[in-house]
Amino acid sequence: MNGSRRVRPSAGLPARFTASLAARLSARLTVRLTARLTARFTARFLARLASRLTVGRSLMATAHLTLVVGASVPAGAQARATAALPALHHVGLNSVDPDAAIAWYLRVWPTAVHTVVAGEAGVQGEMLLLFHRVAQPPSGGWRDELHRASPQSAFWHIGAFTNTSTLPARLAGTGVRSLPLFLSPTDTGSIWRSGQAPFTGTLTAGQLATAPVVAPRDGGFSYVVAPDGVLFEFTGGPGTRDALSHVHFFRERPLCTANWFVEHLGMELPPVRDTAGVERARGAWTPCEVPYGEAGWPSLEPAGTIRQPSGTVRYANGTMAWYPRQCVADRCGAAAPLVRSRGQALDHIAFVVRDMDALFDRLRRSGVRVLEEPHPFGTTRAFMIEDPDGLAIELIEAG
């Protein structure tokens, strides 16, 4: 099974007992290890289980034990928890020249490969990008003079995890340049990765005034512009595992959107960890409508980036993070709501789901806007919906 880890039976426990224990644990936890769950976290989690069950270190060798992201099942959600979570399938992009766009991504990320899925050409890395040919340049592309995409949909950017300190070497000879980052409202764009900032973290204007000066650090976040004006982020530092698997979004109400994805698509909120390091399931955000925080720097925009409140949900093979809409009050000259993503450079995101017909009926009864009815998708089927912020979401039937 994708993302699971097999562990050999312990010499200290009979194999029959070990298998039985694994079955009981798996039944109680009803969880699976995703690709985003690290081996270090797995080891700590198993150690806690071993301590609680008083079977000592031999539990670490339990046969065929499968863990899931999230240590417990939310009350009243047993049926959903035992079913597989949706899994990211692809991000759909519009392009006037898919061949040139694919060549760009393969040049910047040479471990990815060219592929074709359901008749659309794409790039397969740790996530799949599929390109749809359009006659005219798609809207929603990056604009240098605004320091942002315009018009802005729920998509903020796609990207990759890597040590950005090595980015100049990665981009050498590609003709790709990093965008400037701003350190304050009066800065002119003096750095290209956040690790070069003379302070740590992302700080508000008030915090900048008293922040101690620090030397540049390795890594951080950095941005480039991909074909068709798509904003692409590189983020990470020493020890970061390279992965083309990064999507961030803007939302009108990030926490409410997280609740929506849990309620309607069966995703999960990240668990809560107490002071002892023990995790428990998080309930729905109540209230989910909370005031926006202050803008912070480093930022792509001189006005800073509003990063709170932020919401996150987990799906079977990763997570999605959401940040507040940036064009509020007079930050962009005038307030501007998010536009629908369909037809923009970043067009839609797609997930693989089980029981597609039942899900389609339930979403329609719930009043969710349907953009495309069930239709063939390669050797399977799919349909497309729109979430409350206008993000197009394709749902593909598991094969």
* Sequence ranges of the domains in the chain: 15-69, 87-397
Find out whether 374 and 360 touch, Cβ atoms under 8 Å. yes
Bridge partners for 133 per DSSP = 95
Q: Which two tokens stand for residue 278?
A: 């023990």
385: tokens are 């919906």
> For position 277, what pLDDT does the model report?
87
Residue 316 has what pLDDT? 95
Provide the percentage of residues in the chain whose pLDDT is more than 70: 79
Residue for token pair 């605004």: 146
Band of residue 84 on the pLDDT scale cut at 50, 70, 90: confident
pLDDT of residue 63: 30
Q: What is the pLDDT of residues 210-227, one digit of tens each?
A: 999 999 999 999 999 999
Instruction: Quote the pLDDT of residue 22.
Output: 42
Which fold, 87-397?
Answer: 2,3-Dihydroxybiphenyl 1,2-Dioxygenase; domain 1 (3.10.180)
pLDDT score of 399: 83
> What is the per-residue DSSP string for 31-53?
----TTS-HHHHHHHHHHHHHHH
Bridge partners, 246 (sequence order): 159
- For residues 223 and 250, what is the distance between their CA atoms, to the nearest angstrom? 16
Query: Model confidence over 36-69: pLDDT tens digits?
Result: 333 443 444 444 434 333 333 332 332 332 223 3
Distance CA 159, CA 223 (A): 9
Write out the DSSP string of 162-220: --GGGHHHHHTTTT--PPPBBSSTT----BSSGGGSSSSS-B-HHHHTTPPP----S-E
pLDDT number for residue 16? 39
**pLDDT given for residue 214 in this prediction:** 98
Residue 12 has pLDDT above 70, yes or no: no
Q: Tell me: pLDDT of 23 over 80.
A: no
Q: How do residues 151-175 score in pLDDT, each as one tens digit?
A: 999 999 999 999 999 999 999 999 9
Mind listing the pLDDT tens digit for each residue in 366-382? 999 999 999 999 999 99
Confidence of residue 315 (pLDDT cuts 50, 70, 90): very high
| Mean pLDDT value of segment 179-198 | 97
How confident is the prediction for the chain on average, in pLDDT?
84
Model pLDDT, residue 79: 40
The string of pLDDT tens digits covering residues 330-349 is 999 999 999 999 999 999 99
